[in-house]
Structure 1
């Protein structure tokens, strides 16, 4: 029996000293991403990939988080966050923490990755490294392919400083008029429709080389004479800007949410204050000052780098046919219970299935737990929806779409269902950040096919991942459900870890019916049989589950909580976890990204341990385990412990009641907690230390172990 921890000392668990900054915690997460790019144990092209992810992550961070803080400062908002810092203080700390990381990123790319790539036949050259023959080829290529799409824009009294689009790469050019001696400023935008890195033809590179080429902006820079004939080119410096790009939609005032968001998207493209300027360290002071003045920036918003700008474009090199420089290829397996009814690619039924055996019969036999990308999305979730679309006994399909792929077979199946006369209702979340335009396209396409499309609830994002299929069977109606942690996106299902539950339990079908009535109609559903739903009852239920463990400890029993999520931010949930820790509850949290909870503090969080796993797959699944004095409960769903998930989004969490499936989830948590290869332990000071296997322990890579388990389970690759 566990000893009860006495909590006689009164402590203010909302004290800012017990909370990490959300913004700085995110930077620590991106630092862990950068580590994958630096770690020599990571395959070379995968290191390049993580280098690109680090840059892309920063772009979004500036567009949303930094831009939001900047707005607050400009609006004189001084209200501190739970960690006690004002928006201005947050911005100062972001710059202090981020600049060394950016320097480290670029130095490592220039000094380590480029030379190592060259040794393996991948030469990312500078224009100055080219021989005469290669330069002549690129001059001709410039004249034929690049010059026609360039538009040099002068800056003078007759030509105001041009609008610079978000995340665009540009050249700041200074030319001199030979007749007057006057120096003039111009901007040339590097076109996005052309490859960022131009590959030289085979005859102009060594026969043993895999890829040889140069950055597009350098080709333009060395052929500027064609753009400014008769002028003397004095200087040329690349620069890149980031704008505020979060949408602000006045939903209460919008008569049509779709049209309102379309208008905001146009504003995003045409407006948005500049929040970051990236330049090379060699940029002359006059050019730097001109850019800062015209873009209304101060020195704190300027980031100097050594080498190439926009390293997110390095992702293109993952297409190179060099499997030995990448992680071993992974093909998701078909779960054994599904293998009999579908081919490995999920395309059609096998001929040896028994009569009447189909996906619905598999679900009727017992609940089915799916774990992507270890389990095939195409052969399971996609197949389930596709079969429902063509099954003559299916009467209705209802689902939520938060993000999906550009060539979504899910959307095509829903259109087919509508064309087959079924009632199809889809909630397309138009406010899914940076997928708004894509989702508008899907919404219109579905509406044209006769699907009932709902755009979401005013004031809330619909983030839940659920499908409801209503089917006539003999003389009764049966409802089949899928409740998951991930988006219905076949592409991300191959690189994100997510869980899904397929079931025909009557109570779940009834709950999803009520949930969809809430989403599509005027229902004010306040209670659910099995689901925890935000913003209805999820916060209260989660808090009560945490405090129930504390009560067990206070009664002399043991208390145990193990959770896995993307982010742990909500201060009320964190305070409840502190209370549980003080009561003696042992708490382990696997938090991939932002974590504002400060673990390991005496008499506050000494029973709480936090790890983060950053590996080849992006950890996206959410699992919640509560020991409950031996009556264990395990949940999965779409919500993190963030204020927005609990209060401002529609989310669904479901209990996994099948004992075998609950054990499977506990096993997944155990494997994650034992990871000593990709796991990082959060320290009381906010830093993370990566675990390393000791001499006596073998390497435990959780994702590699789960791949091996999927293959050995009898599934087919």
Structure 2
């Protein structure tokens, strides 16, 4: 076994930073939002719930993937240089340390401040007699009928315990039995029972965790036996799977997805959270059953709370709806200031519209689609759909379009992680109505966001196109920063039409003009652009690379940036989440700066800008610089050539680099330091500044002096 100090030496010697360790650093930046004095307790609870949800997904997907290698004795060498066993040891140490930070901050800093904010987290014993009676009535009327004790012994098989549910492990003793008379039963708390029972007092709301309601009355489930111990725990299962390539993309494909969803519910256990004071006999039984070690067992104080994602019920309580500050109302796009009065069809014939969400509403996209649905001159609508809002206007509009006799083609990506069931349901609705539905493309995940509307006015056919970095989702468009382009540009319209033919048929594209696509050419072309910047630098010409992404992980792309840095190219990267590039290392990357923006909005847009000796190239789209984006997904990046729109994108990059409220600077060792304001410097918060942008403010924007 490698010693811990040797592990750190191996990690630091690598030119690349581990994807998983980098992700943990990202979640630390989310957690850091809780520490900001400017946020109230409700905002802090919101970010605590987000942090916990992120961690759940990390264990399901990334730790689950690691176990796929461990369980089947497959070799995996992480970017850190560590093999699978040593890397798991390092990863679990980091996860345990982070878990302790979360728990301690909740207990010591957040919980004591709840009463002054108007609410209390309480157990049953601390309630008044009449409140305890209300709890008792609630339990026996609403909760008791929902609970099912499941015993495990020599006569009963081990029950299926569900992913991310709260579970009681109850050890009972029957005095009439002979030796070894302990039995273990499980009581799962169904997910459709509210996380907290709510009581109102005159000036305060009381939230009683459902596990405390059940714990107080659990004896009613185990009559005429002695209860030795009651142990609350929660498990996280492996949710990582890869769909196998299938030639049959209809019913068989959907059945494959359904089967994999069931496997997600019963995949191998990768994490146990358990209350302190637990039965050692029970935990040893579970460890043996699930082949799990102590480093994957996370202990929680009885005074704390298991599963912070449940805090959403408190945050969303109608009594506190004003406590979470709402962002300002969206402003009109700079390129479409008269959005409320102008006919969008006519506008797009004359100019392009660049949308920057959430500062600009998604409404122009919805207006374009809904006008197209009811316009008799519109002949066809084609879309790619990755994630939708729960009550999506998109689906309603497409259903009406089919009813109105229009040709509607939709690629529904049913492999969109955690949205598979919703996407399958909505896709079937459209297909039943007569829409041509494609359920993904072979073994590739379609992540690109495209819409094409074909309209015939008299003898002229016009194609209206939307290309974007974000989903067609009215809900997330209010909290995710994304870029979208509405255009009738013939070059882009030809590219998008060609791309839809590739997706829906059996067509091999010719060269796109202003579209980069994967898995065909995206990595190759982007690296060519990087290498051209390096060549300019070697010739003493102006050069610069400015990129904004969610994640930077592809090693070929990273090493191309390293080579450009060594050639003298100025490189500034704004990477919200995972960054496997190591900045500021002498002889390797001293010309590379990496910032991360984490704040009120989730930074989701992707922008690639290359100075190109003054003949700039700027691309926007759905693709991060990741192996999966370049090799395993259908992705697209589209070029913005209109000078004023390109200036707007350059300004987005410039503002991100200027932010000193939400920004973190990445260090060579992979840690991050909050970017602080200088003594003579005003706070610059992009999540506020973009609401006040004017055309004049972007006229003279420069990324290179």
Q: Shorter-chain TM-score category? A: over 0.9
What do you get for the CA RMSD once the two structures are aligned?
1.9
Structure 1 SS opposite 2:681: coil
Report the more deviating stretch, 285-294 or 545-554. 285-294
Give the deviation of 1:300 after TM superposition.
2.1
The residue aligned with 2:129 is 132
Change over 3 Å in CA distance of 1:672–1:309 after alignment to 2: same
Write the mapping of 1:287-302 to structure 2, written as runs, cut at 5 A: 287-302=282-297
Write the mapping of 1:136-151 to structure 2, written as runs, cut at 5 A: 136-151=133-148
Cα distance in 2 for partners of 1:699, 1:174 equals 57
Cα displacement string for residues 109-155 of structure 1 (whole angstroms, at most 9, x for unaligned residues): 12211111211111111233223332222111111111011111122
Which residue among 614, 617, 641 is the counterpart of 1:633? 617
Q: CA contact under 8 A between 2:334 and 2:694: conserved in structure 1?
A: no
Give the deviation of 1:172 after TM superposition.
0.9
Which residue among 304, 313, 331 is the counterpart of 2:299? 304
Larger relative CO (CA 8 A, sep 6+): 1 or 2? 1
Q: CA contact under 8 A between 1:239 and 1:277: conserved in structure 2?
A: yes
Q: CA contact under 8 A between 1:161 and 1:294: conserved in structure 2?
A: no
Write the mapping of 1:2-21 to structure 2, written as runs, cut at 5 A: 17-21=14-18
The residue aligned with 1:268 is 264
Query: How does the TM-score come out when normalised to structure 2?
Result: 0.93
Cα distance in 1 for partners of 2:134, 2:321 equals 30
The residue aligned with 2:183 is 184
The residue aligned with 2:197 is 198
The residue aligned with 1:540 is 524
Q: CA contact under 8 A between 1:374 and 1:710: conserved in structure 2?
A: no
Give the deviation of 1:374 after TM superposition.
0.7
The residue aligned with 2:353 is 368
Q: CA contact under 8 A between 1:681 and 1:688: conserved in structure 2?
A: yes
Tell me the matched-pair count. 680
- Asked if 1:208 corresponds to 2:173, the answer is no
Q: CA contact under 8 A between 2:381 and 2:409: conserved in structure 1?
A: yes
- Asked if 1:415 corresponds to 2:402, the answer is no
The residue aligned with 2:324 is 326
The residue aligned with 1:349 is none
Give the deviation of 1:458 after TM superposition.
1.1
The residue aligned with 2:344 is 359
Cα distance in 2 for partners of 1:164, 1:693 equals 50
Cα distance in 2 for partners of 1:453, 1:31 equals 41
Cα displacement string for residues 163-189 of structure 1 (whole angstroms, at most 9, x for unaligned residues): 101111101112232444843221111
Cα displacement string for residues 355-384 of structure 1 (whole angstroms, at most 9, x for unaligned residues): xx521111112111001111111x211111
Q: CA contact under 8 A between 1:102 and 1:305: conserved in structure 2?
A: no
- The runs of 5 or more residues in structure 1 that have no matched partner are 1-13, 343-352
Structure 2 SS opposite 1:540: helix
- Asked if 1:57 corresponds to 2:54, the answer is yes
Structure 1 SS opposite 2:14: helix
Cα distance in 2 for partners of 1:286, 1:134 equals 36
Cα displacement string for residues 55-76 of structure 1 (whole angstroms, at most 9, x for unaligned residues): 1111111111101111112222
The residue aligned with 1:221 is 215
Which residue among 19, 38, 43 is the counterpart of 2:40? 43
The residue aligned with 1:388 is 372
- The runs of 5 or more residues in structure 2 that have no matched partner are 1-10, 698-705
Structure 1 SS opposite 2:246: helix
Cα distance in 2 for partners of 1:548, 1:287 equals 62
Cα distance in 2 for partners of 1:293, 1:308 equals 26
Write the mapping of 1:507-526 to structure 2, written as runs, cut at 5 A: 507-526=491-510
Report the more deviating stretch, 254-263 or 116-125. 254-263
The residue aligned with 2:585 is 601
Structure 2 SS opposite 1:199: strand
Cα distance in 1 for partners of 2:663, 2:290 equals 41
Q: CA contact under 8 A between 2:247 and 2:442: conserved in structure 1?
A: no
- Asked if 1:667 corresponds to 2:661, the answer is no
Q: CA contact under 8 A between 1:533 and 1:652: conserved in structure 2?
A: yes
Query: How does the TM-score come out when normalised to structure 1?
Result: 0.92
